[in-house]
Chain A
Amino acid sequence: MPALYSDILLDHFRHPRNYGSLAAPDISNEQFNPLCGDRIRLELKFDQLRVSEARFKGDGCAISTAAASLLTELVLGEDVEELTNISDAQLISALESNIQPARLQCALLPLQALREGLKNYRTNPLENQ
């Protein structure tokens, strides 16, 4: 069984990758946990239909921050179809930690931002050209 908080989770929490904002993102979506208050905004920029830049910003617990940081690495170079196929299990697995059921919502918050962002991106095709 993996550790409660793996070294990779703690490293991404203490040194989050791709933290910040993009000047003109193609996708920007912010999600929050209504009770515990984690709030994460994910931003993506496409170049030739693939993610060329990814950033996240937010105030979250170690799990949600590390998950957002890892997600910004997972999405680089992916196209919309591949982004859609990123699964819960894939992100959970990347954390290499024993995420308890009560904390799954924290771990999946950035993925929720990605999915909502993709949904908006698809439903507003004119704005995306």
Chain B
Amino acid sequence: MEELFDDIERLAHAEKRVAMATLVATRGTSPKREGAKMWVGEEGRILGSVTIGGCVDARVIAESEQALSSFKSRLVEMKLGNEDAWEIGFSCAGDLDVLIEPVDLTRPDNMLELYRAVRTAVDQGKRAVIATLLKESSRKLLIIEGGEIAGSLGTSELDNEAQTTALDLMRKGVSSTVSLGPDSAPVFFETHGPPPTLIVFGANHVAMPLVSLAHDLGLKTIVVDGRPRFATRERFPDVDELLIGIPSEIAETLTYTSSTFVVLTAHDYKYDLPVLRVTLPARPAYVGLLGSKRRGAAIKEFLRDAGMDQSLLDQLHVPTGLDIGAETAAEIALSILAETVALKYAK
């Protein structure tokens, strides 16, 4: 997400006209999900990718250059059957639809302004969806979490239907093409939101590889502990934020969204109990607790006795992580992140 906004700003300073290629639909398997973008500048710059490179991206680049010449949008359908896929080395064997839209960056009302509005919303912790009518891609509707909208798909009926669909996709955190209206007009919904965030309570030896791996996976990371000797930059060189203080008090100040993953690694009830009292009711995407089933049962019983609702206790993943037989700190970290990735993709 941040990569997209960075690409936009880099292009805005270097190019006058660019083609924005967006993966709007996939059938079969695909290395990238709907919403992936590639930018092709008139001066030759290429940023991003709609696949993992190779022949498909090359075709997209060629189509983008033609779209820039004619300055007309086009929807490119790449129907790759299995035989074609093997022949050209595209091992994923999926069919792709890519929307290519030329953008004149010298015009003050160019499309990048739309993305800047999205960035502003995302920076405020909100989700935003850009809906694009695929048969006439200049018709766009921006829907921001909280009710703000801008633009139109052409009719109020389409706009109303699009808002309902957008709210559903915001909740799921996915981009997708959906047919709307009496004519079943395909509309691409491009969903943006705050970056997934991993909040780790307990700056111990498991937290260290957990934060490093999470950083590599593109998560924003926050580590919380009461001990300045443990929560150090030296131990957590990749962490975005190190917060030292009373952990449960810090927990109350943090924002929890459907993109927030919380992991308690302290393995100490003095942190686990008060932090769970704050984080479980906040209903982030995931709350995991390091410890055995037996320890987890005791922690849950304590919280239940203290009045916590069973539905909240059921949200607690304990032991945290997929059961891959992990033993070392790095392996445990891998199992935890594997579980969060599985959750993200509803596997």
Pick the contact of B306: A14, A37, A38 (CB < 8 A). Answer: A14
Pick the contact of B246: A14, A36, A57 (CB < 8 A). Answer: A57
The 9 listed contacts between A and B (C-beta, < 8 Å) are: A30-B246, A32-B226, A36-B268, A36-B270, A37-B271, A39-B247, A59-B246, A59-B248, A65-B270
Chain A interfacial positions (CB closer than 8 Å to B) = 14, 30, 32, 34-39, 41, 57-61, 64-65
- Whether B247 and A59, one on each chain, are in contact in the complex, defined by CB atoms closer than 8 angstroms, is yes
> When A and B form their complex, which 6 residue pairs have the shortest distance between CB atoms, in order from nearest?
A39-B226, A37-B226, A61-B270, A37-B227, A59-B274, A39-B246
Pick the contact of A35: B229, B245, B275, B306 (CB < 8 A). Answer: B229
B240-269 residues at the A interface, CB under 8 angstroms: 245-249, 266, 268-269
In the assembled complex, how far is the CB of residue B207 from the closest CB belonging to chain A, in whole angstroms? 13
**Interface residue tally for chain B (C-beta within 8 Å):** 19
In the assembled complex, how far is the CB of residue A10 from the closest CB belonging to chain B, in whole angstroms? 12
Question: Which residues of chain A are within 8 angstroms of B271 by Cβ–Cβ distance?
Answer: 37, 59
- Whether A32 and B306, one on each chain, are in contact in the complex, defined by CB atoms closer than 8 angstroms, is no
- Whether A37 and B246, one on each chain, are in contact in the complex, defined by CB atoms closer than 8 angstroms, is no
Q: Given contacts A14-B306, A34-B227, A59-B275, could you give 19 more A-B pairs where the C-beta distance is less than 8 Å? A: A30-B246, A32-B227, A34-B228, A35-B229, A36-B268, A36-B270, A37-B226, A37-B270, A37-B271, A39-B226, A39-B245, A41-B246, A57-B246, A57-B249, A59-B246, A59-B248, A61-B269, A61-B270, A64-B270
A-B CB pair tally, cutoff 8 Å: 43
Complex Cα gap A7–B226 (Å): 28
Complex Cα gap A57–B270 (Å): 13
Question: Which residues of chain A are within 8 angstroms of B230 by Cβ–Cβ distance?
Answer: 37
Tell me if B225 counts as interface (CB < 8 A to partner A).
Answer: yes
Tell me whether A37 and B266 are in contact in the complex, defined as CB-CB below 8 angstroms, given that A32-B226, A59-B226, A59-B274 are known contacts: yes
Complex Cα gap A30–B230 (Å): 18
Residue of A whose beta carbon sits closest to that of B247: A59
- Mark interface residues in B272-283 (1 if CB within 8 Å of A CB, else 0): 001100000000
In the assembled complex, how far is the CB of residue B37 from the closest CB belonging to chain A, in whole angstroms? 44
Question: Which residues of chain A are within 8 angstroms of B270 by Cβ–Cβ distance?
Answer: 36-38, 59-61, 64-65
Complex Cα gap A39–B246 (Å): 6
In the assembled complex, how far is the CB of residue A38 from the closest CB belonging to chain B, in whole angstroms? 6
Question: Which residues of chain A are within 8 angstroms of B275 by Cβ–Cβ distance?
Answer: 59
- Whether B249 and A34, one on each chain, are in contact in the complex, defined by CB atoms closer than 8 angstroms, is no
Question: Which residues of chain B are within 8 angstroms of A41 by Cβ–Cβ distance?
Answer: 246
- Whether B229 and A38, one on each chain, are in contact in the complex, defined by CB atoms closer than 8 angstroms, is no
Residue from A32, A37, A61 whose CB has the most chain B CB atoms within 10 Å: A37
Complex Cα gap A53–B345 (Å): 51
Question: Which residues of chain B are within 8 angstroms of A57 by Cβ–Cβ distance?
Answer: 246, 249
Question: Which residues of chain A are within 8 angstroms of B269 by Cβ–Cβ distance?
Answer: 61
B189-230 residues at the A interface, CB under 8 angstroms: 225-230
Question: Which residues of chain A are within 8 angstroms of B226 by Cβ–Cβ distance?
Answer: 32, 37-39, 59
